[in-house]
Amino acid sequence: MSADQDTTSDLGIGFFGNMTASISHEIKNALAIVNENAGLLGDLALLMDKGRPLSAERLTTIAGNIRRQVQRADDIIRRLNRFAHSAHEPATRIDLREVLAFTVALAERLATMKGITLVLAAGEPVSLVIRPFVLENLLWLCLQRLFVAAGSGGTVELATEAKDGCALVRLRCGSGTQVGPVAAEAARLGQSLLAELQTEIDTDADQGELLLRLPAPACS
């Protein structure tokens, strides 16, 4: 690795920063909606004092809105907690598809901001031993570049596959997307992550796919 290439730790700090900043925005939004609904209740109470009738149905709707946002914030904080703990988690047996699902949940807001839809394809569980945080980091590094290649309005589909005793992750943008330069840049910038995961990057240009091939010894 040359001196200008980031180590796994350097990349990990950047990844952690991207994700926690995005998560904090999501929490702020949920709190802002709770705040407006609480304010609306106060406004309606003042109007009721002045003789304007207030229906039970209206109150129920507002209470439901608050409850839904509290649940949303709770889900976001659970995700944050899991993400924070994964940063120091050692290599462990994971279901690859489940790590992809978690990465989609982490990246969804940032994808939406770029006008990209993330889709997790149906598939069988693929079990392997790996550091989940490093894999999440590699996936995010690839996704960031695929968002640019796919462009606003595009879709990136994530799929897993067990093939010839090893695990494949397919990141599919669709035909017409130039995935070659994405793979080259991801390989250059993510060299330390690929080395730690013993993973190779490949492409299927016809399908507009970026392929991550995790080696046979890591798969079950």
| Residues of the shown chain interacting with another protein in the complex, contacts defined by CB under 8 A | 24-25, 28-29, 31-37, 39-40, 43, 47, 65, 69, 112-115, 152
Q: In the chain, where does DSSP find H-type helix?
A: 8-49, 56-86, 96-113, 132-150, 179-189, 191-197
Nearer to another protein, 41 or 218 (CB): 41
How many Cβ atoms sit within 10 Å of the Cβ of residue 147?
Answer: 22
Rounded to a whole number, what is the distance in angstroms from the first to the last CA of the chain?
Answer: 30
Find the shortest distance in angstroms from Cβ 173 to another protein. 17
Find the shortest distance in angstroms from Cβ 47 to another protein. 7
Nearer to another protein, 47 or 184 (CB): 47
Nearer to another protein, 13 or 205 (CB): 13
Nearer to another protein, 24 or 81 (CB): 24
DSSP state string for 80-123: HHHHHHHTT--SEEEEHHHHHHHHHHHHHHHHHHTT-EEEEPP-
- Token readout for 172 is 């599919």
Find the shortest distance in angstroms from Cβ 156 to another protein. 15
Find the shortest distance in angstroms from Cβ 188 to another protein. 26
